[in-house]
Amino acid sequence: MANDTDIASLEKALLSEIDSASDLDAIERLRISTLGKKGRVSELMARLGTLPSEQRKAFGQSVNQLKERVTEALEARKSQLSRDAMSARVASEWADVTLPVRLGPLQDGRIHPISQVWDEIVEIFGDMGFSVAEGPDIESDDLNFTKLNIPPEHPARQDHDTFYFKPKADGSRLLLRTHTSPVQIRTMLSQKPPIRIIVPGRVYRIDSDATHTPMFHQVEGLVIDEHTHLGHLKWCLEEFCKAFFEVPDLKMRFRASHFPFTEPSMEVDLDASAIGKPGQWLEILGSGMVHPNVIRNCGLDPEKYQGFAFGMGLDRITMLKYGIPDLRDMFSADLRWLKHFGFLPLDVPTLAGGLSS
């Protein structure tokens, strides 16, 4: 049975262990093994109940005093060790004030040329009074083709090399939109004319070589009201190209073409001498007056409403403007490429500040 001598020698042993504890973890281990639930001091306390009542008071007091002294010793050693640890840190950690300033993430990060050009286009058309519309990448066959006057067996569907999803129970199929044109339909179905929108966005076709990637970007344009005509379309596209390529003048060629959703239809080429490539005509977009069938498919009266539409390859004009040679590099996530062709985050394109300067 423990007596005062036992308690005294336990105290001596404990205090010496505490004294020689070399770090804060050791102190914590000691605290648990002495004062914790099953610790050596707590175990003495538990014996109290087994003692004859006349011994209990004195034994209890002794154990309590032991507990107090051990607690004090633990605290004292702990604060000593914390001070030592702090002094050691202060001595080892010091600032080398001669080091050069490290560039922060703002200097390191780059905006992808596609994102930059996307913003440039929104800025230019925004200035002309267009607003930005969006639609989903996963589209219905009806909006991507049928309502755009491309019925099920129309040969134009073949040109689009579409990624289809499995047909649903009712036979209808979803697909990855092959162009931004379905947003024309979505807008005409949900808004009353006058309509004046551009639609920058991702589109998808089964195609892959130096000038084609399965995912690419287009910007659609749509103007619908009661009097917009072909002259407005030409002016609008010429103004856009001058602003975008940042040149005072530029020649464009409008070639008769065919799209099911426009009549008449035109493809538009750019005289590339204005952008440093003399003697070349470069095709940049398709356009035309919105086909009466398309206007009718959206529940509008083609006798009353008319307007123009265009669809432009965003990646293509990005490559032309910024001299990017291979389309595939745009989507290869190569940081060296991005460092070279990318833009600083604070180079936000504005007409007032000069788009790219």
Tokens of 292: 């009466």
Which residues does 321 contact at the CB level (< 8 Å), separation at least 6? 117, 244, 245, 275, 356
At position 76, the amino acid (one-letter code) is: A
State phi, psi for 199 to the nearest 5 degrees.
Answer: -130, 90
Q: Which is nearer to ligand DAH, 267 or 347 (CB)?
A: 267
Question: For the residues of 121-185, what is the DSSP string, one character each?
Answer: HHHHHHHTT-EE----SEEEHHHHTGGGT--TT-THHHHT---BPPP-TTS--EEE-SSSTHHHH
CB of 267 to ligand DAH, least distance (A): 8
Task: Tell me how far, at minimum, the Cβ of 175 lies from ligand DAH, in Å.
Answer: 14
We find the least distance from the C-beta atom of residue 257 to ligand DAH, in angstroms, to be 8
Instruction: State which residue, 23 or 161, has the beta carbon closest to ligand DAH.
Output: 161
Residue nearest ligand DAH, Cβ-based: 311
Nearer to ligand DAH, 39 or 311 (CB): 311
**Smallest separation, CB 230 to ligand DAH (Å):** 12
Looking at beta carbons only, is 245 or 310 nearer to ligand DAH? 310
> Nearest approach, Cβ of 216 to ligand DAH (angstroms)?
10
The Cα 317–Cα 323 span in angstroms is 10
Between 34 and 162, name the residue whose CB sits nearer to ligand DAH.
162
Pairing of strands 215-225, 306-313: antiparallel
Residue 110 or 196 with smaller CB distance to ligand DAH: 196
C-alpha 348 chain-centroid distance:
17
Pairing of strands 215-225, 195-204: antiparallel
Q: How far is the CB of 95 from ligand DAH (least distance, A)?
A: 59
Residues that bind ligand DAH (CB under 6 A): 179, 181, 220, 259, 262, 286-288, 309-311
